[in-house]
Amino acid sequence: MPHVWNVDPVMFTVPGIGWPVRWYGLFFAFAFLAGFSLFRWQTERGGRGPEAAASFIVPGFLGTVLGARAGHIIFYNFRYFLEDPLWFFRIWEGGLSSHGATAGLLVALWWHSRRARQPFWDLCDRFSFSAAAGAALIRVGNLFNSEIVGRTAPPGSRFGVVFPRYDGIPAAYCPARYPTQALEFLLGAAVLGLLLLADRLMGREKRPRGALAALFLILYFAGRFGVEFLKERQNAADSLLLSRGQLLSVLPFLFGAGLLVWAFGRTSAPAGPAPWEPPGSRTKKASAGAARGAKAKEAAPPVAAAEAARGGGPGAADKESAARTGLPARNGKTPSGKGPGALGGAGPEAAPPPRARRGPGGRR
């Protein structure tokens, strides 16, 4: 006997206004909170404060929702949109595309990278964990909505699940289908785990820029390509070898493969991004350097102070040296304080001191 999934998609209705609160909305909120927590963790680990992650909330939300809605309309229901353009804004009626959400997120990340002056691919790397978690939790919401179901499973298959709310007939007459929503939830969770493992193996902040974003595109859309073989076709002819979802998964997969080669093959760029410095850190480093310089000056007193400690004033060392050698001091005075020739009464024409006798082979 196959399992029966007949859960009401509405959790409860708000008293007084009759507003239904759906399970899908709850898991959408979970996906948003989980994605924000992971992105904040990555942002803070990179050296930026939580406000840097909070500044992406609005553009990230708009990019995801608008991109997912536009993708569903363009790829699956464009004719229906032409008949009723206002349907674009009735998101609660369903119709979101993961491929469109990915494209919308990339646009939002590009815009935010320009605004925050943060490298685009580094920002994509840090958001890849959030994308995997969001993709997993959204599929749980699809399961509670009894939508995006799988194809009919073979008779007697233990993986078959009955969806009477999708087929619109009593459960006893419904065919057993593959629970592709659960498979895609496991896919998103597996991609998240592999990204965490890859991040650790690549040295976390020393990882090549763009590598995690490339791995997400490769792993997730390769998995989507495989799951689509079990999924019910959505507005695509059954005679086609590949479904529309598979065709849409090929491009991001190939793009991710090229991005991965580029990330590991760069020679002009450093192996990984330098850790982010929080605001004011350079000023603190400069202050610390000035303090170390002041301490060094205190540890090494000036020459004049050292001479004064020995009982002489400025130039005492020169006078002392001149007294020992008989040569004029640096300031042109002899140890007696008089000008040249004071010792012998001779002036500038006084004979120079006798030269030392040279021995055999001595140098001039």
Phi-psi region of 148 (alpha: psi -120 to 50; beta: other; left: phi over 0): left
pLDDT of residue 67: 94
Q: What are phi and psi of 126, to 5 degrees?
A: -70, -25
Between 272 and 41, residue with greater pLDDT: 41
CA distances from 113 to 127, 253, 255, 269 (A): 12, 23, 20, 19
Q: Is residue 19 part of a domain?
A: yes
pLDDT confidence tier of residue 163, bands split at 50, 70 and 90: very high
Q: Is residue 335 part of a domain?
A: no
User: What is the tens place of the pLDDT at every residue in 103-156?
Assistant: 999 999 999 999 999 999 999 999 999 999 999 999 999 999 999 999 999 988
Q: Is residue 331 part of a domain?
A: no
pLDDT of residue 245: 87
Q: Is residue 134 part of a domain?
A: yes
Residue ranges making up the domain that contains 18: 3-265
User: What is the tens place of the pLDDT at every residue in 194-226?
Assistant: 999 999 999 999 999 999 999 999 999 999 999
* pTM recorded for the entire structure: 0.70
pLDDT of residue 236: 53
Rounded-to-integer distance, Cα 240 and Cα 169, Å: 28
Strand 3-4 and strand 10-14: the pairing is unpaired
DSSP, collapsed to helix, strand or coil, labels residue 147 as coil
pLDDT of residue 258: 97
Q: Is residue 44 part of a domain?
A: yes
pLDDT confidence tier of residue 239, bands split at 50, 70 and 90: low
pLDDT of residue 297: 52
The answer on pLDDT for 34 being more than 90 is yes
Between 87 and 340, residue with greater pLDDT: 87
Cα torsion 27, 29, 30, 32: sign: positive
pLDDT of residue 360: 43
The answer on pLDDT for 1 being more than 80 is no
Q: Is residue 257 part of a domain?
A: yes
Q: Is residue 145 part of a domain?
A: yes
**Total domain count, the chain:** 1
DSSP, collapsed to helix, strand or coil, labels residue 150 as strand
**Residue 152, strand partner residues:** 177
User: What is the tens place of the pLDDT at every residue in 65-100?
Assistant: 999 999 989 888 888 888 888 889 887 777 888 889
Phi-psi region of 347 (alpha: psi -120 to 50; beta: other; left: phi over 0): beta
Q: Is residue 350 part of a domain?
A: no
User: What's the chain's average pLDDT?
Assistant: 80
Across 56-60, 67-71, 249-253, 263-267, least confident range: 263-267
- The answer to whether the CB of 189 falls within 8 A of the CB of 137 is no
